[in-house]
């Protein structure tokens, strides 16, 4: 493949001699030819997965291009293949507000939920209008937006919050499957997913093993972490790929999603696998086909995406505040695996609760390596009869937390004994306790507790909870540091944090002077947190951040809260809307406990917890007299949503209670909250329906 003026010679000297003999126009032509040839090979390798030259031949072409550009820097352009190695580190993060919001997808988990989606689509279209659908494997990576302008890659951003993302253009330029130039003259805005293929992850982890580095647990983490790196040169070291799944702006003449993806492929862009289904009856068949074939895909997938194909119909259907109404993700059932329990250990939490944990032979599950699973409590161990040596079936609850489903009792090794919860705390040795339940119920409660509040595990748990972001938000105070602080006796309760010095911290492991100063600065800054954050971080049973805010609003100051007698506490706390007898008892018991009062007085002496600003209570509004619980992932910050609801006259609950009117259920809402809503008769509403309630419009059909 040698050019007319540059014979294939080995070594830099031979290359330079050939370059020196080239006239200017010939150099430009040779540069263009090398760029086109390298781009063609990159397309075949990274997009088609069908290379036609060896790695050595590709490297020789790249060497020629680098030599040419080294001799003639004026030929270098931002989209040259030589520039994919990455430039200088980004000095700061730039936020870009996008013209078209980047939505997430609503999820379905059963054929019945898919039929409900189809019913909504049919109702949303004009009379007599029927939809055609595309069905695609669901990509599990990092979503990005890429803009081409006049045929050149102009900008790339992360998903961010949908409306705004971080600019990552230098990082995306390093991804060889993303062409720097395409044969399109206008502006083209695309959405895609950054992935790492299975085979590439295996190779990457082998290299990390050889270098003594920690392996990546799954391809998604490796890809998502790389996209936002500050140094493009580090990004270039990851075998990243992009699959484009949507065109937002540009191909207006193409009327459907499927035709648009075909056109993008013709431009040389990596696009998605898809099947066009003309009748709804074929949608579930297409989903089943993806499920059967997913083990053969080069990338991980945990579901299928169904989209209305027509752009015109997509516009008619529109979107909620979070999801497009013309698309949905069907999630495959959670993956299960069989493994062996090698031991059962017990963890002690901040409340003293003992939680048994099964330690198992490592097994791949949902793209991650699982070796531990919570057994929750003594009741579950008895119900499942889990024993050391058992073969067990496990799955990820909510696709996140590993849980044991069942024991294969037939394969149980002989001589195993039923597991018994320890009689003593495994951390401090204190004899454990369990309370007597109500009449007619089993003798002991499921949870066994360590009653020693000075147990190091409990102290560590309380400090970490106190320092968490929803509470006092003390940065740099991680598990390792807290473990050292408690073990060495530097901190016995949360108030002791405010007596620490940088000099004390520098004597700890892996704690330099600058790190110590950062920790102390963060601790001191937390003094300015308001009383609600402090109360919410104390770990009072049944009192979270919402209830903590309500207690703080009533008391105003920590001094007032400590100054109330037991009768006054019951009067003030009992008057809070939504506080039942058990919550009142919990708050009163905590504040009347001498040990807890001693810690609170230490906090007061150290000027921790600013007075709570008096909140203006709405006396009118569309939600006056209504109470709401907000859960799941929303498009806005939870505090902002609470503020809107309060301004409309609503009362906010931490959890669903007997008098909760509405449960606002965002993405990834847990089954427990939904079951509570059903139990207490609370109406479950989406974020969009909540907005209608705020506007005084009521619910559809109500």
Render pLDDT for 134-158 as a digit per residue (tens, 0 to 9): 999 998 888 999 999 988 899 999 8
Is residue 84 situated within a structural domain?
no
CATH number of the domain at 561, please.
1.10.150.20
User: What is the distance between the alpha carbons of residues 153 and 458, in angstroms, rounded to a whole number?
Assistant: 54
Residue that finishes a domain, picked among 281, 314, 331 = 331
Confidence of residue 319 (pLDDT cuts 50, 70, 90): confident
Number of CB atoms found within 10 A of residue 212's CB: 6
More confident residue, 402 or 120: 120
Whether 130 and 179 share a structural domain = yes
Confidence of residue 47 (pLDDT cuts 50, 70, 90): low
CATH number of the domain at 291, please.
3.30.470.30
User: For position 252, what pLDDT does the model report?
Assistant: 53
CATH number of the domain at 423, please.
2.40.50.140
Confidence of residue 12 (pLDDT cuts 50, 70, 90): very low
Whether 125 and 242 share a structural domain = yes
Whether 437 and 465 share a structural domain = no
Residue that finishes a domain, picked among 480, 510, 528 = 528
User: For position 347, what pLDDT does the model report?
Assistant: 92
CATH number of the domain at 33, please.
1.10.287.610
User: For position 437, what pLDDT does the model report?
Assistant: 44
Whether 355 and 471 share a structural domain = no
User: For position 253, what pLDDT does the model report?
Assistant: 56
User: What is the distance between the alpha carbons of residues 426 and 428, in angstroms, rounded to a whole number?
Assistant: 6
At 100-124, the pLDDT tens digits run: 888 888 888 889 999 999 999 999 9
Q: Look at the block and give the residue holding tokens 């000075």.
A: 454
How would you class 335 by CB atoms within 10 Å of its CB: exposed for 0-12, middle for 13-18, buried for 19 or more?
A: middle
The catalytic residue among 25, 64, 138, 322 is 138
User: What is the distance between the alpha carbons of residues 74 and 83, in angstroms, rounded to a whole number?
Assistant: 14
How would you class 221 by CB atoms within 10 Å of its CB: exposed for 0-12, middle for 13-18, buried for 19 or more?
A: middle
Whether 253 and 375 share a structural domain = no
Half-sphere exposure of 696 (CA within 13 A, CB side): 7
φ, ψ of residue 312 to 5 degrees: the values are -65, -45
Whether 652 and 672 share a structural domain = yes
CA 269 to chain centre: 28
Contact 48, 243 (CB under 8 A): no
Is residue 86 situated within a structural domain?
no
User: What average pLDDT is seen over the chain?
Assistant: 84
Whether 352 and 470 share a structural domain = no
Whether 202 and 231 share a structural domain = yes
Is residue 93 situated within a structural domain?
no
Whether 372 and 499 share a structural domain = no
Percent of the chain at pLDDT above 70? 89
Is residue 612 situated within a structural domain?
no
At 537-569, the pLDDT tens digits run: 999 988 888 889 889 989 999 999 999 999 999
pLDDT for 271 beyond 50: yes
Per residue, the 3-state secondary structure of 545-599, as one string, reads HHHHHHHHHHHCCHHHHHHCCHHHHHHHHHCCCCCCHHHHHHHHHHHHCHHHHHH
Confidence of residue 323 (pLDDT cuts 50, 70, 90): confident
At 590-631, the pLDDT tens digits run: 999 999 999 999 999 999 999 988 776 688 899 998 999 998
Is residue 419 situated within a structural domain?
yes
- Domain containing residue 65: 12-76
More confident residue, 668 or 657: 657
Whether 412 and 511 share a structural domain = no
Give me the number of domains the chain comprises: 6
User: For position 436, what pLDDT does the model report?
Assistant: 45
At 456-482, the pLDDT tens digits run: 999 999 999 999 988 999 988 989 999
More confident residue, 533 or 91: 533
User: For position 180, what pLDDT does the model report?
Assistant: 85
Mean pLDDT score, 440-448: 53
Is residue 94 situated within a structural domain?
no
pLDDT for 382 beyond 80: yes
**DSSP letter string over 301-348?**
-SEEEEEE-BHHHHHHH-B-SSSBTTEEEEEPPPPEEEEEEEEEEEEE
At 170-186, the pLDDT tens digits run: 888 888 888 888 888 88
Mean pLDDT score, 156-166: 85
Is residue 87 situated within a structural domain?
no
Confidence of residue 438 (pLDDT cuts 50, 70, 90): very low
Whether 347 and 302 share a structural domain = no
H or E stretch including 189? strand 187-195
Instruction: Report angle CA 210, 214, 217 to the nearest 5 degrees.
Output: 115
Confidence of residue 441 (pLDDT cuts 50, 70, 90): very low
User: For position 91, what pLDDT does the model report?
Assistant: 58
Confidence of residue 15 (pLDDT cuts 50, 70, 90): very low
Confidence of residue 440 (pLDDT cuts 50, 70, 90): very low
Contact 415, 427 (CB under 8 A): no
Which of 338-347, 389-398, 637-646, 674-683 has the weakest average pLDDT? 389-398
Confidence of residue 231 (pLDDT cuts 50, 70, 90): confident
User: For position 250, what pLDDT does the model report?
Assistant: 65
Q: In this structure, what is the dihedral angle of CA atoms 643, 646, 647, 649, given to the nearest 10 degrees?
A: 170
At 67-98, the pLDDT tens digits run: 877 777 777 776 677 766 555 555 567 888 88
Residue that finishes a domain, picked among 331, 356, 390 = 331
**Is 138 labeled as catalytic in the residue annotation?**
yes
Is residue 620 situated within a structural domain?
no
How would you class 693 by CB atoms within 10 Å of its CB: exposed for 0-12, middle for 13-18, buried for 19 or more?
A: buried
User: For position 343, what pLDDT does the model report?
Assistant: 94
Contact 195, 61 (CB under 8 A): no
User: For position 237, what pLDDT does the model report?
Assistant: 84
Count of H-run helices and E-run strands, the chain: 25, 21
Whether 164 and 305 share a structural domain = yes
Mean pLDDT score, 485-500: 96
pLDDT for 258 beyond 70: yes
């Amino acid at each position: 493949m040698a050019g007319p003026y540059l014979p294939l010679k080995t070594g830099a000297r031979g290359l330079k001699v050939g370059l020196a003999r080239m006239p200017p126009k010939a150099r430009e032509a040779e540069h263009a030819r090398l760029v086109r040839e390298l781009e063609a090979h990159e397309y075949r390798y990274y997009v088609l997965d069908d290379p036609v030259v060896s790695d050595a031949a590709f490297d020789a072409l790249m060497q020629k291009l680098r030599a040419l550009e080294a001799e003639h820097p004026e030929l270098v352009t931002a989209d040259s293949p030589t520039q994919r190695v990455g430039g200088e580190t980004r000095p700061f993060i730039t936020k870009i507000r996008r013209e078209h919001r980047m939505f997430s997808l609503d999820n379905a988990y059963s054929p019945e939920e898919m039929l409900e989606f189809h019913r909504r689509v049919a109702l949303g279209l004009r009379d007599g209008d029927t939809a055609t659908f595309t069905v695609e494997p669901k990509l599990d990576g990092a979503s990005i937006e890429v803009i081409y302008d006049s045929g050149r890659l102009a900008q790339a951003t992360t998903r961010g919050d949908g409306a705004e993302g971080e600019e990552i253009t230098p990082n995306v330029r390093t991804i060889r499957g993303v062409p720097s130039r395409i044969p399109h003259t206008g502006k083209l805005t695309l959405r895609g997913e950054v992935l790492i293929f299975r085979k590439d992850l295996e190779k990457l982890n082998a290299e990390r093993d050889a270098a003594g580095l920690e392996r990546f647990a799954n391809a998604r983490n490796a890809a998502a972490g790389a996209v936002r790196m500050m140094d493009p040169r580090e990004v270039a070291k990851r075998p990243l790929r992009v699959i484009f799944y949507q065109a937002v702006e540009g191909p207006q003449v193409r009327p459907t999603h499927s035709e648009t993806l075909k056109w993008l492929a013709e431009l040389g862009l990596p696009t998605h696998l898809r099947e066009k289904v003309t009748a709804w009856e074929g949608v579930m068949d297409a989903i089943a086909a993806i499920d059967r074939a997913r083990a053969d895909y080069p990338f991980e997938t945990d579901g299928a995406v169904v989209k209305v194909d027509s752009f015109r119909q997509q516009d008619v259907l529109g979107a909620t505040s979070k999801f497009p109404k013309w698309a949905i993700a069907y999630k495959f059932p959670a993956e299960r695996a069989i493994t062996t329990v090698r031991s059962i250990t017990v963890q002690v939490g901040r409340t003293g609760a003992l939680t048994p944990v099964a330690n198992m032979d490592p097994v791949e599950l949902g793209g991650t390596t699982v070796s531990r699973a919570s057994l929750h409590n003594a009741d579950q161990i008895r119900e499942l009869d889990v024993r050391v040596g058992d073969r067990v079936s496990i799955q990820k609850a909510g696709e996140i937390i590993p849980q044991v489903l069942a024991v294969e009792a037939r394969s149980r090794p002989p001589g195993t004994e039923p597991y018994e919860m320890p009689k003593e705390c495994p951390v401090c040795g204190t004899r454990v306790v369990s309370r007597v339940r109500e009449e007619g119920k089993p003798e002991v409660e499921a949870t066994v507790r360590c009653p020693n509040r000075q147990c190091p595990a409990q102290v560590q748990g309380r400090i970490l909870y106190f320092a968490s972001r929803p509470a006092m938000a003390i940065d740099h105070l991680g598990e390792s540091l807290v473990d050292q602080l408690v073990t060495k006796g530097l901190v016995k309760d949360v108030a002791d944090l405010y007596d620490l010095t940088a000099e004390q911290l520098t004597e700890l492991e892996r704690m330099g002077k600058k790190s110590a100063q950062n920790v102390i600065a963060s601790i001191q800054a937390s003094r300015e947190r308001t009383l609600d954050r402090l109360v919410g971080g104390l770990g009072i049973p049944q009192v979270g951040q919402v209830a903590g805010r309500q207690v703080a609003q009533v008391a105003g100051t920590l001094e007032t809260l400590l100054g109330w007698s037991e009768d006054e506490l019951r009067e003030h706390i009992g008057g809070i809307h939504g506080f039942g007898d058990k919550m009142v008892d919990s708050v009163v018991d905590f504040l009347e406990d001498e040990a807890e009062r001693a810690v609170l007085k230490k906090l007061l002496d150290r000027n921790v917890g600013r007075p709570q600003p008096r909140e203006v209570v709405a006396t009118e509004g569309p939600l006056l007299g209504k109470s709401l619980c907000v859960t799941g992932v929303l498009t806005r910050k939870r505090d902002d949503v609470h503020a809107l609801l309060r301004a409309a006259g609503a009362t906010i609950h931490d959890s669903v209670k007997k008098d909760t009117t509405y449960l606002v259920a965002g993405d990834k809402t847990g089954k427990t909250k939904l079951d509570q809503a059903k139990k207490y008769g609370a109406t479950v509403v989406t974020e969009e329906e909540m907005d209608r309630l705020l506007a005084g419009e009521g619910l559809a059909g109500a």
